Amino acid sequence: MNKTIKERTLEFIKYKGISMKEFELKCNLSTGYVTSMRKGFGSEKLNNVLTSYPELNRDWLLYGEGEMIKEAAPLKSGSSISPNDIKGGDYSGTLVYDIDATCGTDQRDIYFTQDNIIGSVNLPGINKGSQIVRANGDSMEPRIFDGNMVVIREIHSWEDIFYGQMYLILLDEYRMIKYIRRYEPDEDNYIILRSENPQYDDIKLHKGKIRKMFIVENILSVKTQL
């Protein structure tokens, strides 16, 4: 027998490891809403749930179709950018920063200030709310090569993380681009950072050491001007 929407909602709450009170508060639902639910969510309440938990698969919640958690959008690569694409002094497009996003463990900080802006670009498929920075190092080769540009967007909550995706991780001492993997023995407190280059070992990292995280949305090769 297929589960009800209420049963699937309870399953999702258990999966997230949160209380029903936390779920209802975040989704702007009244206390006891889930417990008393009979048929399902109204359109406004459903929108609150899906907005609060963007990783939750709508079709799974409503109809039991597919997986509970949506797959992350595939990382785009193969696009390119040239110096002529960057409009200096123009802030209307996706901002390009004179900042290195390190594919390694160099000691560098990352500040998205106006002083670091080179200009902006308007390229198909690139979110204007994201930022573009330069990658260096070889730990993510052959996926990201030294000198490529990467399109990144800040992530503010662990609930918005897709394990297996590539992120720019900012620590007090280092910043690095890595895949984020689950650390199953203690996934509440730790993650695994993994390189593309097999010469680099996995890094077990405590979540509390992370200052900021940025998902890597796109990889851009840089076209040189002849």
Does residue 54 have a cis bond before it (omega within 30 degrees)? Answer: no
pLDDT tens for each residue of 185-210: 898 899 999 998 988 899 999 999 99
Where are the domains positioned within the chain? 5-63, 76-222
pLDDT tens for each residue of 180-191: 998 888 988 999
Position 105 scores a pLDDT of 47
Position 6 scores a pLDDT of 92
pLDDT tens for each residue of 45-91: 898 898 888 788 888 998 888 888 876 666 666 678 887 888 888 88
Report which secondary-structure segment, H or E, holds 7: helix 5-16
Position 202 scores a pLDDT of 92
Instruction: Calculate mean pLDDT across residues 211-226.
Output: 82
Position 39 scores a pLDDT of 83
Give the domain 76-222 fold: Umud Fragment, subunit A (2.10.109)
Q: Is the dihedral of CA 208, 209, 213, 216 positive or negative?
A: negative
Closest CA to 196 of 135, 107, 132, 134: 135
Equal fold, 5-63 vs 76-222: no
Percent of the chain with pLDDT over 90: 24
Q: How far apart are CA 115 and CA 185, in angstroms?
A: 43
Q: Decide if domain 5-63 falls under CATH 1.10.260.
A: yes
Closest CA to 98 of 45, 134, 131: 134
